Amino acid sequence: MVGSIDTLHHSLCSNGSIHNCNGLEEKLDELRRLLGKTDGDPLRIVSVGAGAWGSVFAALLQDSFGQFREKVQIRIWRRPGKTVDRATAEHLFEVINSREDVLRRLIRRCAYLKYVEARLGDRTLFADEILKDGFCLNMIDTPLCPLKVVTNLQEAVWDADIVVNGLPSTETREVFEEISNYWKERITVPIIISLSKGIEAALEPVPHIITPTQMINRATGVPIDNILYLGGPNIASEIYNKEYANARICGAEKWRKPLAKFLRQPHFIVWDNSDLVTHEVMGGLKNVYAIGAGMVAALTNESATSKSVYFAHCTSEMIFITHLLAEEPEKLAGPLLADTYVTLLKGRNAWYGQMLAKGELSRDMGDSISGKGMIQGVSAVGAFYELLSQSSLSVLHPEGNKPVAPVELCPILKTLYKILITREKSSQAILQALRDETLNDPRDRIEIAQSHAFYRPSLLGQP
């Protein structure tokens, strides 16, 4: 296992408590027993995908359990060949030299010189190379612990007991279809924890949403009871810096409760919930409206009044959509709004909206942005719009009492679609959507949803 055991032990027991370290080993032993692991056979955990959250998740596990190298093996897979540009290498060098602990660690590992050479332009660094030293390309300012990086997907996953999906939803299907080829001879069924937030829309046989856990289930044949979703109102870098955070792991009771216990840390509280699909869908929905929030913030010079007006409209649309997707949406109101709030404050989707509105990014640059990774909200805008524009899902419009597609009651979503997908409008259009005098009170939209039999289980692929 990569890294100093002494260093890891110090990070675990910085409060001087040996009991806490012993408690970690007990949690590990308990999970090993549930998975039928015998002495000499380590629990194999691999994170597939090395974006910010996937890398932080792997680093949290490594920091907590990496010292028990005979009992657990923690690895992360990422594609090889991704280069680090000169500007990023220069910034990385500054980050290294600003952190004495990181600087000393690299010098001890005889790895410091390559960062000096990269800063001077005499060497090209690769994303998988720096990840081994604890640097995620999408989160350079937050050094992690050293990680065991594998660039061969078959080597990474073929014998894994727990696979963490840290991929964007747009890449999940393709990668797990490849993984399924390596699992054809497996006797045991792995557990999969998906961190991915995003959806696809399918129109046949009826309009419905496809979530990352459903993609994984269809690609691999792993039973849905062995596939879980973990999400919550948090920012990856802040979690690694031990800001207090919470998350919720959703799925079948057999695995969600022991995994919640295993993953729980003093600064990272993990709860559990049986409602897998709707939590997963809401994790994708908040990214949609975060992009608009970033636009509003940039276009109004961070006006608190304008941002609050936007928040009222976007949350009413989210609640409206939630009523279509969830039988008891009031149970989701807290987690839904909390996850939305943090994403609007500091998420990459809000940042993307700001950069578009300021003209510092353009849609022609695509959805994968250097230093940030995949902007999931863009594809989610397209998916939700496509789904909710189907006439077969029509609802009564409050004015005229005539049936319309649900998207007609979601002006923010419609405007984002025209800005991001068809590109027929500029970012300024988001302000016009807020200022349209024909809009009803956002509260009216919520009352419409609550006063009709809106719930459509078919939208979640349920009978």
Catalytic residue set: 286
Tokens of 20: 């806490």
- Give CA–CA dist 104/97, Å, rounded: 9
| Radius of gyration in angstroms for the set of CA atoms belonging to the chain, rounded to a whole number | 23
CA gap 294, 420 in Å, rounded? 13
* Sheet with 43-48, side-by-side order of all strands: 149-150, 72-77, 43-48, 162-165, 191-194, 227-231, 245-250, 268-273
φ, ψ (nearest 5 deg) of residue 43 = -70, 125
Taken in order 25, 31, 32, 34, the sign of the CA dihedral is positive
